[in-house]
């Protein structure tokens, strides 16, 4: 075995640009994301059984928390692109250094976000929801903020594996955390044995504990001797001003894009909350069920971003394009399948929420959720388009465009039309969801057009002093890629 091979054994056995290569990375990420989706659904089902006001409060409080978390989370998640591109360029020391910069950033940013917990009551009182909902929103938000540091650290540390295509490790960690969380969620919400009944506070405590557990597991894995011999993590811990500046530059644009996106949905949810508690609860369930399709496709997006980053690092953008289109085929088929389920089998999806809820209270919610799931079915395919093509261009370093599109689309196509209709024509849940569908569909076409323009092909995020060099087979593979795309 050559020195280079023993030092960086990251090359996948599957043919570059093939479905086998994509699936080897994407399937564990989809399953990993699916476990998170299932955990969110279990959480909301338990809250539905516990109290309708808690169910109504969980989504607006949770999405406001994610609005605060999204900027640092987006920056930390961009460590994945640095790892992918440095790994593609066969620079293991820079892979390790990039992970450390992500860790330093995560601790500092998470500590600042934790401070937001002190103003939770005042924040939700100012939003203007019903008093019972506002109190639950503040409680949920406060406990989530306590877990901000491990939440961001989890993202940065998992990038060491996902960026190198080692997605089975990410899956294993998430399965362990979700399995433990599912048990603790019930115990802390309803109370059992020595544990009191904490309700919505218990749901948030469980989420924060899960993030902490993931950090501990990833730290243990990264400290193994087999990892240290390949990637000098213990020797690359120093602060790197240039690398941190690049992370903030490229990741900052990606984080702003995520913040704008999530903040737009947060504002949308606050407007829905002004309509009424049942409308907010129904929207909560519909979005919660949407995660069954949406979150696993995020896993496909991460896989596409990883492959694009690696191919850019290797100097083979044509192969990146092949992987992206195959990723869209996988994500689109998955979304179409779930669209059929949302349309044809809504009662099956709603049944767990209704199982132990008050029948009289839940009757109106059930009918509304059935209608909202049709909206989800309509926009799901275009959601796949937005996720995959958006991930591809960001994986190459095209983050500023994504940021500008996110700002314009979220506020001009989602928040502003919903608010103006509410203000001048009166509250209407279904009109609000129509604008939500228009927003998602527009994003899908915009990101696909940007990808097709090819502007991303000449980009990379590797430090200017360390340019990516094509490997010895790059030119040969670039020549063959057109035939490969047709033949596949």
**110-126 confidence digits (pLDDT tens):** 999 999 889 898 888 88
Highest mean pLDDT among 13-17, 47-51, 162-166: 162-166
Judge whether 38 lies within some domain.
yes
Report the number of distinct structural domains present in the chain: 1
Other beta carbons less than 10 A from residue 425's beta carbon:
9
What does the pLDDT look like over 123-157, one tens digit per residue? 888 887 778 888 889 999 999 999 999 999 999 99
What does the pLDDT look like over 52-105, one tens digit per residue? 778 778 878 888 888 888 889 989 988 988 998 898 888 999 999 999 999 999
In percent, how much of the chain has pLDDT > 90? 39
pLDDT (0 to 100) of residue 224: 92
Q: What is the DSSP string of 410-456?
A: IIIIIIHHHHHHHHHT---HHHHHHHHHHHHHHHHHHHHHHHHHTGG
What is the rounded average pLDDT for all residues in the chain? Answer: 85
Sign of CA dihedral 123, 125, 127, 130: positive
Range of the domain at 51: 13-462+469-487
SS3 10: coil
What does the pLDDT look like over 367-405, one tens digit per residue? 999 999 999 999 999 999 999 999 999 888 888 898 889
Judge whether 4 lies within some domain.
no
pLDDT (0 to 100) of residue 145: 93
Query: C-alpha angle 393/398/403, rounded to 5°?
Result: 105
Residue 365 has pLDDT above 90, yes or no: no
Judge whether 3 lies within some domain.
no
Other beta carbons less than 10 A from residue 415's beta carbon:
20
Residue 167 has pLDDT above 60, yes or no: yes
The helix-helix angle for 241-275 and 399-409 (nearest 10°) equals 20
Other beta carbons less than 10 A from residue 378's beta carbon:
17
Judge whether 8 lies within some domain.
no
Judge whether 214 lies within some domain.
yes
Residue 478 has pLDDT above 50, yes or no: no
pLDDT (0 to 100) of residue 462: 65
pLDDT (0 to 100) of residue 157: 95
Q: How far apart (Å, rounded) are the C-alpha atoms in residues 350 and 399?
A: 38
Please state the pTM of the whole predicted model.
0.72
What does the pLDDT look like over 312-343, one tens digit per residue? 878 888 999 999 999 999 999 999 999 999 99
The pLDDT-based confidence of 488 (bands split at 50, 70, 90) is very low
pLDDT (0 to 100) of residue 466: 52
What does the pLDDT look like over 454-477, one tens digit per residue? 999 888 776 444 544 444 434 334
- Please enumerate in sequence order all residues whose Cβ is within 8 A of that of 309, keeping only pairs 6 or more positions apart, or say none: 80, 81, 83, 84, 85, 88, 163, 395, 396, 461
Judge whether 1 lies within some domain.
no
Sign of CA dihedral 341, 343, 348, 354: positive
Judge whether 318 lies within some domain.
yes
Judge whether 7 lies within some domain.
no
pLDDT (0 to 100) of residue 56: 77
Q: How far apart (Å, rounded) are the C-alpha atoms in residues 412 and 457?
A: 29
């Amino acid at each position: 075995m050559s020195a280079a091979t023993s030092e960086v054994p990251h090359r996948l056995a599957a043919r570059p640009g093939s479905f086998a290569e994509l699936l080897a990375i994407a399937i564990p990420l989809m399953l990993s994301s699916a476990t998170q989706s299932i955990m969110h659904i279990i959480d909301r089902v338990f809250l539905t059984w516990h109290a309708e006001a808690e169910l109504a409060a969980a989504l607006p409080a949770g999405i406001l928390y994610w609005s605060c978390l999204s900027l640092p989370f987006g920056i930390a998640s961009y460590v994945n692109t640095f790892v992918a591109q440095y790994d593609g360029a066969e620079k293991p020391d820079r892979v390790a250094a990039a992970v450390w910069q992500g860790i330093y950033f995560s601790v500092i940013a998470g500590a600042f976000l934790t401070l937001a917990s002190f103003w939770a009551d005042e924040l939700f009182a100012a939003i203007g929801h019903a008093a019972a909902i506002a109190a639950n929103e503040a409680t949920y938000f406060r406990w989530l903020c306590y877990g901000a540091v491990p939440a961001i650290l989890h993202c940065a540390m998992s990038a060491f594996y996902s960026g190198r295509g080692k997605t089975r490790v990410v899956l294993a960690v998430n399965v362990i955390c979700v399995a433990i969380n599912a048990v603790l969620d019930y115990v802390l919400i309803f109370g059992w044995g020595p544990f009191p009944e904490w309700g919505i506070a218990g749901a948030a405590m469980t989420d924060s504990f899960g993030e902490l557990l993931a950090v501990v597991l990833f730290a243990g894995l990264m400290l193994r001797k087999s990892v240290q011999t390949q990637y000098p993590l213990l020797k690359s811990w120093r602060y790197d001003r240039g690398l941190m500046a690049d992370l903030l530059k490229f990741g900052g644009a990606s984080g702003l894009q995520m913040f704008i996106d999530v903040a737009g949905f947060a504002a949308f949810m606050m407007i829905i909350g002004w309509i009424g508690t049942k409308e907010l609860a129904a929207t909560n369930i519909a979005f919660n069920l949407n995660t069954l399709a949406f979150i696993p496709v995020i896993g496909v997006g991460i896989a596409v971003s990883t492959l694009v980053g690696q191919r850019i690092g290797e100097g083979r953008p044509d192969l990146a394009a092949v992987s992206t289109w195959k990723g869209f085929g996988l994500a689109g088929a998955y979304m179409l399948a779930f669209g059929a389920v949302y349309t044809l089998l809504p009662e099956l999806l709603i049944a767990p929420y209704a199982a132990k809820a008050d029948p009289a209270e839940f009757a109106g919610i059930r009918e509304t959720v059935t209608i909202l799931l049709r909206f989800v079915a309509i926009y799901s395919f275009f959601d796949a388009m937005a996720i995959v093509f958006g991930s591809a261009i960001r994986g190459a370093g095209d983050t500023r465009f994504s940021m500008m599109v996110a700002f314009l689309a979220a506020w001009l196509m989602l928040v502003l039309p919903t608010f103006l209709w509410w203000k001048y024509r009166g509250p209407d849940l279904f009109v609000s969801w129509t604008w939500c569908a228009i927003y998602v569909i527009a994003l899908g076409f915009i990101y696909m057009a940007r990808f097709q323009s090819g502007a991303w092909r000449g980009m990379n995020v590797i430090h200017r002093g360390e340019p990516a060099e094509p490997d010895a087979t790059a030119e040969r593979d670039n020549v063959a890629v057109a035939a490969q795309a047709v033949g596949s």
